[in-house]
Structure 1
Amino acid sequence: MASNKTNSGSAVATLFQGVGFLLAVLLVAHTVFVLFDFQPEGRLAQSVRQAAEPLALFFPGLVDAPTPELQILLDYGLAALFWMLLGGLLARIFG
């Protein structure tokens, strides 16, 4: 049987999934910049940090890690995973 999905439904789903992906990319970029000491005083690193910190929500400090590197990975990695899952879930609901 043919599906009754419209183009607007799939466009909304794609939009939700794309936004979730872009937010996760920002968080991963911040993680990479911090772990590899990518010019923290540079404009790019500062802009990414300013965007990533509020997107991390409540995840920083949620899980205690023994090393600072692992703490950064957990804090921003869990937030990136959250945004990917939320974008996929919303795409599934509205798609």
Structure 2
Amino acid sequence: MAAKTKRSGISTLFNAVGFVFAAVLVLHAVFVLTGFEATNGLTTSVARAAEPLAVFFPGLLDAGNPTLQVLADYGLAAVFWVLVAGLLGRIFG
């Protein structure tokens, strides 16, 4: 049986920030794939926030299909932020 370890506040903070970054990226992908209006304020705000969070992933893979391209670009970036946040949480937690 594994012993329970208490997580520190900084570990929880890292994980929460990584989750928020990933949620913004996934929300942007959902907006693009479902065809939400680009003039909508929420859609525009999420798109502006998602672009820098996608770091180097847009265009990294060439999917050939626009739907798969959006999923690859923003899905990989979301997974990246969750993994980085988890790793930082373990290191500093």
Give TM-score scaled by structure 1 length: 0.90
Structure 1 segments of 4 or more deviating over 2 A?
Answer: 2-5
Equivalent residues in 2 for 1:78-89 (5 A)?
78-89=76-87
Query: Do the aligned partners of residues 4 and 27 (structure 1) sit closer, same or farther apart at CA in structure 2, a change above 3 Å counting?
Result: closer
Percent identical among aligned pairs is: 59
Query: Do the aligned partners of residues 35 and 11 (structure 1) sit closer, same or farther apart at CA in structure 2, a change above 3 Å counting?
Result: same
What CA deviation, in whole Å up to 9, does each residue of 1:30-78 have, x standing for no partner?
A: 0000000112110000000000001000000000002001000000000
Structure 2 counterpart of 1:50, which letter?
A: R
The aligned length equals 91
Give TM-score scaled by structure 2 length: 0.92
Query: Which consecutive residues of structure 1, in runs of 5 or more, have no partner in the other structure?
Result: none
- The one of 29, 32, 51 equivalent to 1:31 is 29
In our comparison, the structure showing a higher alpha carbon Rg is 1
